[in-house]
Amino acid sequence: MAPSFPTPLLPRVMARLLSALGRTSRHPHRHLRHASSAVPSVPPYASSAARVYLHATNLCDNPGARQRKNRVGRGEGSGRGKHSGRGHKGWLARSNRALPHRGYEGGQTGIVKALPKFGKRPLNREQLVHVHLDKLQHWIDAGRIDATRPIGIKEMYEAKLIGGIKDGVVLLANGAENFKSRITIYVSRASKLAIERVEALGGKITCVYLDERALHAARHPHKYFVMPSLPALPSTDRDIARYASPLYRGYLATRDGASLSIPRIISTQRKLVP
């Protein structure tokens, strides 16, 4: 029969047992509970019978190899409670915690808004898509554009030569020495060197005014049940003078350079607009 110890003597007995094992603690019950499962350290020169080998039940990481996840907002006792280390309000205390946009100065009026703008800001500036002669020749050589047929904005858009048209297309003379095709092309604007190069090869170039609706219909004809018969006429004095001038190869220009009346403009427009 196992000896029974009085209740006051039990902690003393456990303390003596722990001192015999080389351990001291304020809570001897915990060490006594795990004393049987503790594995004593064995020097490397000990016999193979006393060594502890690695197997599936005692595999573990080295001390400090894994850092515990910092759980925030779980009470003040955790050290990361209340505001979870973000402080009081502000940009970095919000849920997204994204970086502020450029020019943000903490809520005060930024320098971008505090200083006035400078330089010219034309409100009626046209945004034209640039088409260069060397790129047009590359599309022709690749068979993506047929040079034997008239080339308009619709053909260039379908061939992926241009895209994102807003106010029209301008033909420029970059790489003019590599352009060797005889074409008939319709664009919104054209530079002087581009006109000279196209006409030197026996081609023809015509600058046509197309409003927003006509440009949209040329790019997306499948969206129209009835296509617009005629585009709108140029309304500003500068556009009228440009498209009625033979120097700019305007589609409203006459051979003698005389001014056109409205009926003649409409008649000329019907003949020349592709």
Residue with tokens 């690749």: 142
CATH code, domain carrying 185: 3.100.10.10
| The residue type at 250 | G
Evaluate whether 193 touches 176 at the Cβ level (below 8 Å): yes
Return per-residue pLDDT of the chain as tens, 274 residues: 555 545 555 556 666 665 655 555 555 555 545 544 544 555 555 555 567 788 888 888 898 898 888 899 999 888 888 999 888 988 788 887 777 788 888 889 999 889 988 888 777 788 899 999 999 999 999 999 999 999 999 999 999 999 888 899 999 999 999 999 999 999 999 999 999 999 999 999 999 998 888 899 888 888 988 887 777 888 888 888 899 888 999 988 865 555 555 555 555 555 554 4
- What 3-state DSSP class applies to 231? coil
Please report the pLDDT score of residue 271 as a whole number.
54
Please report the pLDDT score of residue 125 as a whole number.
82
Q: Which segments within 1-132 are labelled E, that is strand?
A: 129-132
75 part of a folded domain: no
Q: Residue 169: CB partners within 8 Å, gap ≥ 6?
A: 128, 129, 131, 153, 156, 162, 187, 188, 189
Counted domains in the chain: 1
134 part of a folded domain: yes
Residues 207-258: pLDDT tens digits? 999 888 889 988 888 898 888 777 788 888 888 889 988 899 998 886 555 5
Residues 108-130: pLDDT tens digits? 999 988 998 888 877 778 889 99
Phi/psi for 250 (5° steps) reads -70, 150
167 part of a folded domain: yes
Please report the pLDDT score of residue 155 as a whole number.
92
Task: Give the residue from 69, 97, 93, 68 showing the smallest Cα distance to 82.
Answer: 93
30 part of a folded domain: no
Please report the pLDDT score of residue 8 as a whole number.
54
Please report the pLDDT score of residue 22 as a whole number.
57
199 part of a folded domain: yes
6 part of a folded domain: no
Please report the pLDDT score of residue 137 as a whole number.
96
Q: Residue 99: CB partners within 8 Å, gap ≥ 6?
A: none
Evaluate whether 190 touches 257 at the Cβ level (below 8 Å): no
- What 3-state DSSP class applies to 76? helix
Please report the pLDDT score of residue 25 as a whole number.
52
Please report the pLDDT score of residue 135 as a whole number.
95
SS3 for 89-121 is CCHHHCCCCCCCCCCCECCECCHHHHCCCCCCC
Q: Per the structure block, which two tokens stand in for 136?
A: 């047009």
- Range of the structural domain that residue 191 is part of: 129-230
Q: How far apart are CA 175 and CA 73, in angstroms?
A: 66
48 part of a folded domain: no
Q: Residue 133: CB partners within 8 Å, gap ≥ 6?
A: 171, 172, 173, 174, 175, 176, 178, 179, 194, 197, 198
Please report the pLDDT score of residue 266 as a whole number.
55
80 part of a folded domain: no
